[in-house]
Structure 1
Amino acid sequence: MGAAKGSGEVASSAVMDSYNGFREALRRRLAGRRPAQAAVEEYTEDPDNWRPALETYLQQADVQKDDALLASASAVLSAADPDGASRGKYAVQIYGAQGVQVGDRNTQTNNYRSGP
């Protein structure tokens, strides 16, 4: 029992360490953008209400082009879900697709129509 508890503490510590590294990388990327930095903090407290604003700020900051930030986000996912990460669960590449969902337990209905 003690060994299992110890390994859980190590895993939890690894997740927290990688998450803290991600938050620091995000703070650096958003330096000088006070509303965006505030949205990160508010999102932590109330994700449902702050998600749209934070997504907008992240798009404006071109975070998808920041390799260091993306690597630190990947480290969080790898620490939190090593099995999923090793299976490629978080390596998503989509080009020219329509009606795509990414995630678990989604439901989607697509209606495609050809011309008028």
Structure 2
Amino acid sequence: MKDDILKNHFLHPCNVGIVENYDHKIIVKSDQCNDVITFTVTITHNTIDDIKFEAYGCGYAIAGASLVSDAVKGKDIDLGIRDVEEMLNTMTIPDSNLRCIHLSLNAIKQLKDNLIAHGHTS
């Protein structure tokens, strides 16, 4: 891993596990490799109060789940998504591993879509 931030998230992942009494569970799977990430989340008024993940996959998938969960925790879901997108734009990630990182970002976007579909967010 060339990017120090991602390397640190791989070696010392944040938010690993399952949120007790979670409100939402999102499972994302890569269609190109064996990466599978499960996020459990509690949300109050569009704010991600707590988020944890369990991951089976490559180092980039694990680092991405840690980075994304750390970046969105305690934030409004839209702000969290924007922050992650901005952060990823500044990182050096091999093209072949971008999908592994984006898997976690896509999970948060899926969570937002689910909230909108059920009338829980704007």
Category of TM-score, reference length = shorter chain? under 0.3
Structure index of larger Rg: 1
Structure with the higher helix share, 1 or 2: 1
Structure with the higher strand share, 1 or 2: 2
What TM-score comes out, normalization by structure 1 length? Answer: 0.27
What TM-score comes out, normalization by structure 2 length? Answer: 0.26
